Amino acid sequence: MDAAVPQSLFSLTPDQHAIRDMARRFADERLAPYALEWDAKKHFPVQEIREAAGLGLGGIAIREDVGGSGLRRLEAALIFEALATGCPAVSAYISIHNMVAAMIDRWGTPAQRARFLPDLCSMATLGAYCLTEPASGSDAAALRSRARRQGDHYIVTGVKQFISGAGSADLYAVMVRTGEDGPRGITCLLVPAGTAGLSFGANERKMGWNAQPTRQVILEEAVVPLENRLGEEGQGFRIAMAGLDGGRLNIAACSLGGAQAALEKALAYTAERRAFGARIDSFQATQFKLADMATGLEAARTLLWRAAAALDAGDPNATQLCAMAKRFTTDTGFAVANDALQLFGGYGYLADYGVEKIVRDLRVHQILEGTNEIMRVIIARGLLSA
Question: Which tens digits make up the pLDDT trace of 271-300?
Answer: 999 999 999 999 999 999 999 999 999 999
pLDDT of 11: 84
Instruction: Read off the pTM.
Output: 0.95
Residue 235 has pLDDT above 50, yes or no: yes
Intra-chain end-to-end CA distance of the chain, in Å: 8
Tell me the per-residue pLDDT of 292-301, one tens digit each, with 9 for 90 and over.
999 999 999 9
Residue 5 has pLDDT above 60, yes or no: no
Residue 301 burial (CB < 10 Å; 0-12/13-18/19+)? buried
Residue 253 has pLDDT above 90, yes or no: yes
Per-residue pLDDT band for 386 (boundaries 50, 70, 90) equals confident
Residue 6 has pLDDT above 50, yes or no: no
β pairing state of 171-177 and 127-130: parallel
Please work out, in degrees rounded to the nearest 5, the angle formed at the alpha carbon of residue 180 by the alpha carbons of 174 and 184.
65
User: What b-and-e string marks burial along 119-156, b requiring 16 or more CB atoms within 10 Å of the CB?
Assistant: bbbebebbbbbbbbbeeebeebbebebbbeeeeebbbb
- Tell me how far apart the alpha carbons of residues 302 and 196 are, in angstroms, rounded to a whole number: 47
Residue 384 has pLDDT above 80, yes or no: yes
- Tell me how far apart the alpha carbons of residues 158 and 170 are, in angstroms, rounded to a whole number: 19
pLDDT of 8: 53
Residue 65 has pLDDT above 80, yes or no: yes
Q: What is the mean pLDDT of residues 88-97?
A: 98
Which domains does the chain carry?
7-126 (1.10.540.10), 128-234 (2.40.110.10), 237-385 (1.20.140.10)
Out of 48, 81, 133, 369, pick the active-site residue: 369
Specify whether 232 is catalytic: no
- Write down the mean pLDDT value for the chain: 96
